[in-house]
Structure 1
């Protein structure tokens, strides 16, 4: 029996995932968490084989959380299930230690397939995401784009700003102060040599980082 913990801050999403997985042979949801802190506490108390993880829960950055979890539970397979379809998120998640990455638009059958693959020691990416990553690698130049040099938290803030969220909105999403977000914003602007919010949005569009919003 494959034991699964679902970590997502939306109750309806957790309930839907529970139904999908419970209807599949040899898969059992043994716990649910609504944020990173709950996920860590649950993992310490409840043995499991796969963590189904949303990247956008309140609190600690999803990428940071993956690093923390893998440090404490190196044998745990982490399968990211998220709204973020940008390949840069997928690359960062895999580098941090995730065994798979898929968006919430996936079909139930694909989710079950992904869980079975990562628990067997494999890596799972949807075909569309794999093609995006391969295309980016094939077309990349020797010069590394500036956005790849952003830290994981800076990249989070950068994309939220590009989507039109205010500093206060971002602070609420990440459970940090507006002052902290402003510091990250200043670092992003400096690293990318941008002078205004408009330039930041244009930069994100130019590098196809908002393709799911267009």
Structure 2
């Protein structure tokens, strides 16, 4: 089995490799440390399964998933994240991921999730299933933050954490002008007047 493993923290990758080798001792595991390397690997090689962190330096992982799905690549993808499911699970499943796990539950759930997705099934916990159902029912009346694109939502989350435009630009490897443009779009789409409105909204909707 060829496994592509992507996470920007080497300690986490080491732990995941040990976990994977216990169940798949003969697996060939390729490690990547950022989203750019993940994208290149998916475009240049074939894998049986992909396990990746959601937030890494480089292009948004959600956009990478959409890109390879549009290109016809059906490799099973499991997303790992430190954030709560309600923040990102619906977005990544809709983008084409086959499973979403909180890193806190990885030791207990990762191998089971792999068994599901390798059989062509999606690994969706009851909690995420409820979120998906709510999302489809609420599509007609979207909340303000649900009107944002995936990249805009990522910038919104970082702004709501108190990061400056410069810090976000450095983290995402884009220009300050690009982040300023995203910030303006966010304020416009969400009908906000100031940065303080972003913080207040994020706290009120448990998005921070």
Equivalent position of 2:19 in the other structure: 20
Aligned-pair distance for 1:3?
Answer: 2.4
Equivalent position of 2:148 in the other structure: 150
Distance change >3 Å, CA 97–CA 195, structure 1 → 2 = same
Q: TM-score, normalised by structure 1?
A: 0.87
Aligned-pair distance for 1:133?
Answer: 4.1
Conserved in 2, the CA contact under 8 Å of 1:30 and 1:48? no
Correspondences of 1:43-62 after superposition (within 5 Å): 43-62=42-61
Aligned-pair distance for 1:179?
Answer: 1.4
Distance change >3 Å, CA 73–CA 81, structure 1 → 2 = farther
Correspondences of 1:55-134 after superposition (within 5 Å): 55-72=54-71, 74-134=73-133
- 2-structure distance, mates of 1:80, 1:54: 6
Distance change >3 Å, CA 207–CA 136, structure 1 → 2 = farther
- Mark the runs of 5 or more structure 2 residues left unpaired by the alignment: none
Q: Deviations over 1:95-118 (max 9, x none)?
A: 111111111111413011111111
Distance change >3 Å, CA 178–CA 125, structure 1 → 2 = same
* Higher alpha-carbon deviation: 27-36 or 186-195: 27-36
Q: Name the Cα RMSD after superposition.
A: 2.1
Distance change >3 Å, CA 185–CA 27, structure 1 → 2 = farther
Q: Deviations over 1:146-194 (max 9, x none)?
A: 2111111111011111111111111121111121111100100011011
Conserved in 2, the CA contact under 8 Å of 1:18 and 1:29? no
Equivalent position of 1:4 in the other structure: 3
Q: TM-score, normalised by structure 2?
A: 0.90
Distance change >3 Å, CA 73–CA 37, structure 1 → 2 = farther
Distance change >3 Å, CA 114–CA 27, structure 1 → 2 = farther
- Mark the runs of 5 or more structure 1 residues left unpaired by the alignment: none
Distance change >3 Å, CA 64–CA 8, structure 1 → 2 = same
